[in-house]
Structure 1
Amino acid sequence: MAYVTVEALEARLPRPLDLVERGRAETLLGDAEDRVREELGRVGRDLDSEYFSRPGFGYTVDRVIREMVAAAVLIGVNAGYRSVASTTGAESDSATFAGDNPGWGNVYLTEEHKRDLGLPGAARPSGRFPMPWVWPERDVW
């Protein structure tokens, strides 16, 4: 079951999609939905039942899927780049990626998406921890 259509996605994009992008967007919408379904399944949740039973969850799922696909379609293979440099003389190229997942033009869930869907993220633990021992670990008196 497709929750987001190409038409619903295209209505929110800054420009119309060409025929190739429309076909790719349709495929990526399915991929994004599968990815959301997979991540929810990993923590024992069901996308289909929650989509219709939890108030507002369907809107969140739709938005997350649209954001995942819009980034892949509009930015394409450049999704995930933080910076790119190129030199022509003696040819030198350099690229820096943001985060652990460069994207490569595919759909992926960001930590923000996971948080919006109520999924556990890869966040660092927070809390109060005891102070570390003073180095060297011996009495100075």
Structure 2
Amino acid sequence: MSDALVTHQDIALRLAIPLEKAHEPRVNTLIQDSEELIQDAFAEVGRDYRLEVANLLQRRAIIRVIREMVATAVIVGPYSGARSVNSSSGPNSDGLTWDKVPEVSFAGVKLTDAHRRALGLVVGNDFAPSWNFPPATRWPLRGGDN
């Protein structure tokens, strides 16, 4: 058994499109990049990646996140930032509208807030109260007691 959590075969089996042999080195690099991002995210909050991987439930979460990160980068990656693509047949007209896609980057994989939550990492205001106290009542001022 290999010590790799995820292999390019794992990714290829789950993709809706066939993974060409020529793309295997890129997929392996994306897997490695994903693991590094996750290691860094754990290190930022003082958690040890090796201990996280040793925990069966956390190991499974890490594997799922890596698969998702890599699959997204493989399928969406070449079109990262494309919101719409238009094409016409007649006198050749093409159009492409770009927009920000938070799940991927042009460089490859991205650890999103949803991934961080799946790994048990706190995101932004996860523990902030979702309610407000009413404003404090003001004491009436009495004349001459200031």
TM over 0.5: yes
8 Å contact from structure 2 (residues 73, 104) kept in 1: no
Aligned twin of 1:76: 77
- Separation of aligned partners in 2, 1:84 and 1:3: 35
Aligned twin of 2:99: 96
SS in 2 for 1:94: strand
Aligned twin of 2:5: 3
- Separation of aligned partners in 2, 1:6 and 1:104: 20
| Alignment coverage as a number of residue pairs | 130
Residue from 26, 35, 38 that aligns with 1:36: 38
Which segments of 5 or more consecutive residues in structure 1 lack a partner in the other structure? Answer: 134-141
Runs of 4+ in 1 over 6 A off after TM superposition: 87-92
The alpha carbon displacement at 1:8 in A equals: 1.6
Deviations 1:61-82 (A, max 9, x none): 001001000011122232354x
- Separation of aligned partners in 2, 1:78 and 1:86: 13
- Separation of aligned partners in 1, 2:112 and 2:53: 20
The alpha carbon displacement at 1:123 in A equals: 4.0
TM-score (norm 1): 0.76
TM-score (norm 2): 0.73
8 Å contact from structure 2 (residues 80, 101) kept in 1: no
Residue from 119, 126, 131 that aligns with 1:128: 131
8 Å contact from structure 1 (residues 77, 105) kept in 2: no
Which segments of 5 or more consecutive residues in structure 2 lack a partner in the other structure? Answer: 137-146
The alpha carbon displacement at 1:102 in A equals: 5.4
Bigger Cα Rg: 2
- Separation of aligned partners in 2, 1:44 and 1:2: 23
- Percentage identity across aligned positions? 29
Aligned twin of 2:14: 12
The alpha carbon displacement at 1:9 in A equals: 1.7
